[in-house]
A and B are shown apart, each in its own frame.
Chain A
Amino acid sequence: AQSVTQLDSHVSVSEGTPVLLRCNYSSSYSPSLFWYVQHPNKGLQLLLKYTSAATLVKGINGFEAEFKKSETSFHLTKPSAHMSDAAEYFCVVRGVGDYKLSFGAGTTVTVRA
C-alpha cells in the first residue's frame, strides 16, 4: 500500500525567506504524488502534481517540488515566502488500481513578518 510521511508538523519562516516542506513516500509502483494546500476555513487546493514525467514539478504561486526516486522523497519548496502562504500543506499519494488518496499528517506553515 502507498503512504506518505511528512517530516515536519510545523514550519515557521520569515517573509521573503525560502520554504522547505519535506515528504517521503512509500510505494511499490511509480507513484502519483501531489501537494495540496488548505487555508484556514477553506477547501483543499492542488498546488502541484507528479505523474512520472519531469522530476522537477512547478506548481502555482511559485511552489515547486522535486521527485527523487533514490531518496523516495517529494519535497516542496518556494524561494520566497509570502504572508499568504500561511496554511496547512498536505503531501498526498494516489493508490494504484484503487485510486484512493492517502494523505500525510500535514505541515502547518506560519510566516513571520
Chain B
Amino acid sequence: SAVISQKPSRDICQRGTSLTIQCQVDSQVTMMFWYRQQPGQSLTLIATANQGSEATYESGFVIDKFPISRPNLTFSTLTVSNMSPEDSSIYLCSEYGRGNTEAFFGQGTRLTVV
C-alpha cells in the first residue's frame, strides 16, 4: 500500500488567513486528488492535480479559493485562502496511477477556522 503523508494534521486558524496543506506520496503517481469532508458529511472532490498542468476543479470550487500546486509526481499542496468558519473541515489528499485500482488517502488535515 502507498504511504501518503499530510501536513499539518490539524490546525486552528483565524478567519481571513490562509493555510497551505502538504501531501507527499512515497512513489510517483500520475494523479493526485484533494477532497473535503465537512463535519458529519461524506467526502467531496475539490480538484484533480496533475503534474505540469493546472489543476482541474469541480463545480463549486475555484482556484482563487483553493489554489493547488503539483511541482512533481510525488508532491502536491492545497491552499485554503481567505478562510471563514465555513471552511472548517477535514481536507484529504489521495492518489492514482501506481497500477492499483484502489486509492489510498492521507490521514487528513483537520482545519478549524475561528
User: Residues of A at under 8 Å CB distance from B?
Assistant: 32, 34, 42-44, 46, 49, 51, 90, 94, 98-106
CB distance from B58 to the nearest CB of A (A): 8
Known: A99-B31, A100-B33. A34 touches B105 (CB 8 A): no
- The residues of A that contact B103 with a CB separation of less than 8 Å are 34, 46, 94, 101
Contacting pair A43 B105 (CB below 8 A) = yes
Contacting pair B96 A99 (CB below 8 A) = yes
Known: A90-B42, A90-B43, A106-B42. A100 touches B105 (CB 8 A): no
Pairs A–B under 8 Å by Cβ, sample size 8: A32-B101, A49-B102, A51-B101, A99-B96, A101-B45, A101-B103, A103-B43, A104-B42
**CB nearest to B107 among chain A residues:** A43
Instruction: Count contacts on B: residues with CB < 8 A to the other chain.
Output: 21
- The residues of A that contact B106 with a CB separation of less than 8 Å are 43
Cα-based distance from A78 to B104 in the complex (angstroms): 23
Instruction: Check B92 for interface membership: any CB of A closer than 8 A.
Output: yes
Among B94, B97, B107, point to the contact of A101 (Cβ < 8 A).
B94
**CB nearest to A46 among chain B residues:** B102
- The residues of A that contact B43 with a CB separation of less than 8 Å are 90, 101, 103
CB distance from A57 to the nearest CB of B (A): 12
Contacting pair B101 A44 (CB below 8 A) = no
CB distance from A108 to the nearest CB of B (A): 9
Cα-based distance from A42 to B105 in the complex (angstroms): 11
Cα-based distance from A43 to B94 in the complex (angstroms): 11
